[in-house]
Structure 1
């Protein structure tokens, strides 16, 4: 296998491109207008594609808005990304918080309604550590 990365469908590719670039600091490595390829500048294996929902490469029966899916993005500093999200006026659908199961995270939503869970791994609570393998 050479790579595995998500490609999300967007109603407005430029709007989604800017959302992920601004939220996560990703760089645009390709932009044809109907398709955008983003990469993390510090780790080129972290990639995201965005395709126009109505483009011919998306089968007709699958051009709907996302539902029941969330994308988790693991970062070094969730608090910094949260601050960036607030500064950019992004919708926060779950506030920044620390969880017993070893995550500090918040959720935002992209322009097409896809949940984006921004996570930093933290130590488990003592109770949760018992379940770790």
Structure 2
């Protein structure tokens, strides 16, 4: 299989609020917008990949019967160069509520978690050296 693209589509009744969240706080731009579907893209650079994300009204008729439910139980990882600076920007200055406070994990991450308007968790991460116990588990 040749994969020509990959991106998550989040089913949410809070499309406008979610659009504003991702464009305001994470630099996504609107590529397509209807009242039931919004496609977002964060343009890449020489040292950053292009990222895509879409938002979909879970009641739209393109959703198969029985599956039209808002997103639940998903965690998006946003890896950044300086998680402490993002903590300051998003939480201290921006006023976003942390679901998990900034901390360093033995498994090799310094991170914090916030939630988007639909309850999707956003894990903002900078990789750090893992403890020797966890370092042995990496391949």
TM-score normalized by structure 1?
A: 0.86
Q: Which has the higher strand share?
A: 1
State the match for 1:19 in structure 2. Answer: 21
Which residues of structure 1 form unaligned runs of 5+? none
Structure 1 residues 28 and 83: CA distance shift in structure 2, 3 A? farther
Q: Is the Cα–Cα contact under 8 Å of residues 28 and 36 in structure 1 kept in the other structure?
A: yes
1:41: how far off? 2.3
Considering only CA atoms, is the larger Rg found in Structure 1 or Structure 2?
A: 2
Correspondences of 1:1-133 after superposition (within 5 Å): 1-42=3-44, 43=48, 45-86=50-91, 87-133=93-139
The alpha-carbon distance between structure 1 residues 14 and 74, as it changes in their structure 2 partners (threshold 3 A), is: same
Task: Report the Cα distance in structure 1 between the residues aligned to 2:101 and 2:53, rounded to whole angstroms.
Answer: 24
* Distance across 2 between alignment mates of 1:22 and 1:84: 12
**Number of residues of Structure 1 aligned to a counterpart in Structure 2:** 133
**TM-score, normalisation: structure 2:** 0.83
Shift of 1:99: 1.0
Task: Give the RMSD, CA atoms, in angstroms.
Answer: 1.8
2:43–2:50 Cα contact (<8 Å) kept: no
Q: Is the CA contact 2:12–2:71 (under 8 Å) kept in the aligned structure 1?
A: no
List per-residue Cα deviations over 1:32-82 (Å, max 9, x = no partner). Answer: 232111112235631101112222222342222333322222222222332
Classify the secondary structure of the residue corresponding to 2:125: strand
Q: Which runs of 5+ in 2 are unaligned?
A: none
